[in-house]
Structure 1
Amino acid sequence: MLAANVEKEPTFWQSVMEIDWKVVGKATNETLYMLGYSLLFTVILGLLLGVLLFLTSDKQLLGGKFYARIIYGALSLLVNVLRSVPFVILMILIMPFTKFLVGTKIGVVGAIPPLVVAAAPFFARLVESALREVDRGVIEAATAMGASKGMIVLHVLLREARTGLIAAVTITAVTLVSYTAMSGVIGGGGLGDLAMRYGYQRFMIEVMAVTVLLMLILVQILQMVGDALVRYFSRR
């Protein structure tokens, strides 16, 4: 009699069906918002930084000059330092800068500056590596034809390295997905915050499973799109 009155715990799939999907949808939109804006600013800043690193390195267009060595050394040190700091620690360290820049330290908007600061140096190194793969003979031919340094960068370097740059953007986007999840540890919003507040703190394993699945799907989509673009431009 007593055993018959004991309520059975819901199964995993029953718990999944009882999830508030509006909350999951909101968290997904926040993750996409953070990913979109942080990737945009990362590509802009990282591309400029990567090109400058390449141009001022030895045996390149600006390499060998005294000021170029100073610029390359300073930028290379900055990139290495920022890349060596774990993202969660970096996010806490630059909170005053984040507050000054966007007016808040937490939330979706507050997570974007740390995401850019963490990802831009990473992307810059990928850009530098992609540009080093460009055939030096092409650069020398453009120089012999009287092309300016700006024209060489825009019409030779970036054009010849576009497949490598697309691959670099893809890798950076996937990395940013994991960073957005880590930002949830200190209230950054998105799927990471949802997994932290519900999946970890409230022991709702089904919420954790759903957030992980959604992030896996997002990463897979990004990788498939990036690979398709690389194949397309490789043929061209």
Structure 2
Amino acid sequence: MNAMSQQRQRGNQGEAQAREAQPLLRQRGREIQPFGTLVEYPLALSAKARAASVKVLNQILADTLVLRDLYKKHHWQVAGPTFHQLHLLFDRHFKEQAALIDTLGERIQTLGGIALAMAHDVAERTKIERPPRGREQVPVQLSRLLDAHEVILAEVRKAVKITTERGDEGTADLLMSDVLRTHEMQVWFLSEHLVDTPPVRAGERRGRARPRAGARGRAAARPRVSARSRAAR
């Protein structure tokens, strides 16, 4: 074998080895589990109970995905004197909702179901009102978030009852311990930002004038005495 043949052979071997490392791109195939179906796991829990849990969990998951994104929208778009504190608060709540999303999705998969994941599927399922694309005032942002929390809290309380009645204590405990309490805490933090209270000076009841402070205020508070009254004394 001459040198040229040896070089050609080494080149062919190199190309063959490179093909082994080439990723198999642009693959498509059939679904291995259609949405709405269950796979069987040895959970000692009936398929009927698991199906009921997956259904309510997917609704909560869809609305939680929307609430998470609503927090990020307001985190970016918040304005005004409370910008800094709300910017940070919205981001913290966003992260807490993101953690709940992972918990809910994994619970659905644990029960043998399929968790909703894509935006178009979530948009079809959510019960939360769609906000405008533009920027809104802070009280409106807070109100939207509170309304969304209330939607989810109502679903969670209903789901706890359903899962408990069907013997799925694991899902009921997750909803009570993680989801419900997280939402209730966030509702409290948001609601306190809508209390109309003075930020610095405590005022009296509305409609009543504040007392004037200092010597001038005390002088103004004394009744006026006329010259005739002073002479009579």
Tell me: higher relative CO, structure 1 or 2? Use CA pairs within 8 A at least 6 residues apart: 1
| TM-score (norm: length of structure 1) | 0.29
Larger radius of gyration: 2
| TM-score (norm: length of structure 2) | 0.29
